[in-house]
Amino acid sequence: MHPAAADMDLLPVTDPPPAAAGSRLTVPGNFTPRQRFLAALEHRPVDRPPVWMMRQAGRYLPEYRALRQGHSFLQMVHTPELATEVTLQPLRRFGFDAAILFSDILTIPEAMGLQVDFPEGGPVLQPVVRTAADVARLPPVVAAERLGYVADALRMIRRELGDQHALLGFSGAPFTLASYMIEGKGTRTFEHIKAMLYGQPEVLRALLDKLADVVIDYLQMQLDAGADAVQLFDTWAGELTRADYDAVVRPSTLRIVQAIVGRGGRIIVFAKHPGHLLESTASLGAHGLGLDWRVELGAAAALCRQQPGRPTSLQGNLDPIELFAPAAHIERRVRALHTAAGATGWIANLGHGVIPSTPIAGVEAFVAAVHGLASHGAAPVLLPTRAALA
Ligand code: CP3
């Protein structure tokens, strides 16, 4: 074990103060939500763990459904004022410490010239990318030119948040983006991308490489526009064997992490079904690792402590369906996750996105349970409510 990692366990909760505060904070309750989020992501002590929720902006919120009635999903994604409004909605209602940009991972395939639609039943992309010639035809993308609306939204959101709340940007990781571009839609079987992996691995590698270039430029643009950190959604990486992940997919993800970290950015890597990949993802050198609910948080924390270099924080991993459970169950589970994660380096979250039928009371119970972990009664900070945009 790296000596610095071993020491982490022994740090008292009030010492040292969070560096982001600029001055010495002796009262743990003085953390702003943003300072709390950054401290946890950087494995520094906190008054209580920060909390946010994947897909926290979305259809489980009546105010999202109301705004959505007048606009298509893509219209909302493409219009910075609407994306800003939707991003802020959950922060007015719940005491989340971080906002996540309202957008979609499929902005990148769209910027590369694919037609992306969201009919009932999930996204559809065309034309599909299946051959070496298809990959070669994909144009290089300069994020500021094709995806500038995302930077505009982030700047607008940052203006609204000030320095009180953390702001997260995100991108799909190359393998997850490639799966939509190759399959043309969501899939349970991944037959076309796996056929390419086994039959033409060099074509898949070329596509992942091309995507990694765009993702690096896109994430850097988001950090420049005011994001405190970015999350890389490698949602479907867990569908692969570890050997295939390591040989074909991990290099493009590693290149992204190294580029962002090398320029001073903060990055969290999330994958679903990540259990068998943990040694491969924990060693990427990301600041944070997002876990789905199948992973035992304590075991992942122990593995992360064994990595050399800067310790990796963990994010997750309550099953989103546990938000349908009674508040007492949710509170028990949050306490258990906190105990398993250890005193530093944990960001409370779900193990995947909140689903549209989720009861608001379940979200309230989750947030209240995390707030209840405060050592000195830190008060939640809500954004002031404002008339929703028409
Ligand atoms: O977390 C957040 O609140 C930020 C917003 C966000 C959305 N999509 C909003 C959204 C983020 C981070 C995503 C990422 C995303 N999009 C992923 C990776 C993350 C994951 O969930 O594993 C993937 C695979 C997509 C592609 C995508 N977009 C799918 C599969 C769907 C679902 C289709 C459906 O009907 O459920 C979307 C649509 C989408 N993305 C919605 C939202 C709020 C619903 C759109 C609507 O209003 O109809």
Residue holding tokens 């694919």?
114
Contact between 208 and 144 (Cβ < 8 Å): no
Q: Is 99 in the pocket of ligand 1 (CB under 6 A)?
A: no
In a domain, 317, yes or no: yes
- The Cα 317–Cα 352 span in angstroms is 8
In a domain, 347, yes or no: yes
- The Cα 328–Cα 94 span in angstroms is 18
> What are the pLDDT tens digits along the chain (390 aa)?
333 333 333 333 333 334 444 334 344 568 999 999 999 999 999 999 999 999 999 999 999 999 999 999 999 999 999 999 999 999 999 999 999 999 999 999 999 999 999 999 899 999 999 999 999 999 999 999 999 999 999 999 999 999 999 999 999 999 999 999 999 999 999 999 999 999 999 999 999 999 999 999 999 999 999 999 999 999 999 999 999 999 999 999 999 999 999 999 999 999 999 999 999 999 999 999 999 999 999 999 999 988 888 899 999 999 999 999 999 999 999 999 999 999 899 999 999 999 999 999 999 999 999 999 987 656 778 888 765 554
- Sequence-ordered alpha helix ranges (H) in 267-326: 278-282, 297-305
In a domain, 33, yes or no: no
Domain carrying residue 84: 46-371
Q: What is the pLDDT of residue 10?
A: 33
In a domain, 199, yes or no: yes
User: Domain total for the chain?
Assistant: 1
Residue 380's nearest CA partner among 19, 62, 90 is 90
In a domain, 129, yes or no: yes
Cα 92 to its chain centre, rounded Å, is 20
In a domain, 4, yes or no: no
Would you name the residues annotated as active-site residues?
Answer: 55, 59, 68, 104, 180
Q: Which CATH number do you get for residue 190?
A: 3.20.20.210
> Quick count: other Cβ atoms within 10 Å of Cβ 209?
14
Q: Is 183 in the pocket of ligand 1 (CB under 6 A)?
A: no
**Ligand 1 pocket check: which of 51, 52, 54, 55 to mutate, most ligand atoms within 8 Å of Cβ?**
55
Q: Is 106 in the pocket of ligand 1 (CB under 6 A)?
A: yes
Cα 154 to its chain centre, rounded Å, is 15
Contact between 256 and 209 (Cβ < 8 Å): no
Torsion of the alpha carbons at 269, 272, 275 and 276, rounded to the nearest 10: -90
Q: What is the pLDDT of residue 380?
A: 76
Element containing residue 162 per DSSP (H, E): none
In a domain, 291, yes or no: yes
In a domain, 360, yes or no: yes
Which residue, by CA, sits nearest to atom 22 of ligand 1? 235
> Which residues on adjacent β-strands are paired with residue 348?
51, 316
Which residue, by CA, sits nearest to atom 36 of ligand 1? 122
